[in-house]
Amino acid sequence: MNIIFLILGFVIGIFAFSQIVYPIAFSLPRASALKREGKLLKPIPLKSFFIAPIIWSAILFCIFWFVDTYFQRV
């Protein structure tokens, strides 16, 4: 059972990284570099970089909370 949890945790971790950390760590510096070089046609608002990661963080938090409360009762 621990192996299943390990593999499931690894998959969830990769998904969380790709949806939450990666866009902030990769896109924000790239957009600022393009802005410095004058290659952006329209300015990109900073909130657009953080809306999706906040939503995914909230979804994952709700899933973890639901699983935690469910397994405490079983």
pLDDT along the chain (74 residues), means of 10: 85 86 86 89 83 88 87 71
pLDDT in the model for residue 40 = 85
pLDDT in the model for residue 74 = 58
DSSP 2-66: HHHHHHHHHHHHHHHIIIIIHIIIIIHHHHHHHHHHT--SSPPPTHHHHHHHHHHHHHHHHHHHH
> Could you tell me which of 49, 56, 59 has the C-alpha nearest to residue 26?
49
